[in-house]
Amino acid sequence: MKNITLIGMPGSGKSTIGVLLAKCLGYRFLDTDLLLQQEAGMLLPELLATQGLDRFLALEEQVILGVRPRETVVATGGSVVYGRKAMEHLRSQGTVVYLQIPLEEIQRRVSNIATRGIAAAPGRSLGDLYQEREPLYREHADLVYAWRQESLEESVARILELLGAPCGQRRP
Ligand SMILES: Nc1ncnc2c1ncn2[C@@H]1O[C@H](COP(=O)(O)OP(=O)(O)O)[C@@H](O)[C@H]1O
Ligand SMILES: O=C(O)C1=C[C@@H](OP(=O)(O)O)[C@@H](O)[C@H](O)C1
Ligand SMILES: [Mg+2]
């Protein structure tokens, strides 16, 4: 049942880092965005456009509540923190790590906010979302990884350090 769940803003590296962590630990990898797409039968931008924000968030929460991971690194969608029940569920299943990246770096990494399918009301900027979500990510995290201009590989190493789980040793 020792799972690791990654939360954070879009572009914080949940999907990219998640798969590398899983490989290091001998865990499975699950990206809840992919599960949601499969269950909805459409891509996330289309799901948002056709169902609207509230329904999207409800579907995302429902998908997460149905997940029972085991020895798995779970990469969530950035909007998962709006679902209190989903967060309680993930927290009951293992360690939740917040990938905290400064807004300026998120803005560099996410240039396509309009087409990427971000769960936000029209007209809201990444800065607005950052301000709204940051306290939620903190609240729901067991550990916070604060990025310091590190490469992907350095990020993976430091997150493993935070978790007390060196790479290459299968975590029981
Ligand atoms: N140090 C880093 N850690 C993680 N991602 C990085 C880093 N530097 C650049 N990136 C890039 O940022 C993007 C992160 O995207 P992604 O993993 O999809 O994030 P998320 O799943 O949180 O939305 C990728 O394009 C990745 O290559
Ligand atoms: O932050 C968001 O509102 C979203 C982030 C996306 O996932 P990533 O955080 O993996 O980009 C995806 O779940 C959806 O398009 C909504
Ligand atoms: Mg992702």
Contact (CB, 8 A) for 126 and 107: yes
Say if 90 falls within a structural domain: yes
pLDDT number for residue 115: 80
Write out pLDDT tens, residues 73-124.
999 999 999 999 999 999 999 999 999 999 999 999 998 877 888 999 888 9
* Domain enclosing residue 25, as ranges: 3-163
Looking at the chain, which runs of residues are DSSP E strands? 3-7, 28-31, 72-75, 94-100, 143-146
CATH of the domain at 16: 3.40.50.300
Tokens of 150: 């590190």
Across residues 2-13, what is the average pLDDT? 97
Across residues 142-169, what is the average pLDDT? 93
Look at the chain and report how many structural domains it folds into: 1
pLDDT number for residue 36: 98
Indicate whether residue 12 lines ligand 2 (CB < 6 A): no
Residue 18 assigned as binding residue: no
Instruction: Compute the C-alpha angle 119/122/123, nearest 5°.
Output: 115
Q: Is the pLDDT of residue 171 over 70?
A: no
The Å distance, Cα 146 to ligand 3 centre, comes to 18
pLDDT number for residue 90: 97
Say if 96 falls within a structural domain: yes
Mean of pLDDT over the chain:
95
Write out pLDDT tens, residues 37-62.
999 999 999 999 999 999 999 999 99
Helix, strand, coil proportions of the chain in percent (round to 5)? 50, 15, 35
Say if 145 falls within a structural domain: yes
pLDDT number for residue 172: 59
Say if 172 falls within a structural domain: no
Q: Is the pLDDT of residue 169 over 80?
A: no
Say if 11 falls within a structural domain: yes
Say if 169 falls within a structural domain: no
Indicate whether residue 151 lines ligand 1 (CB < 6 A): yes
Measure the CA dihedral 24/25/28/29, to 10°. Answer: -50
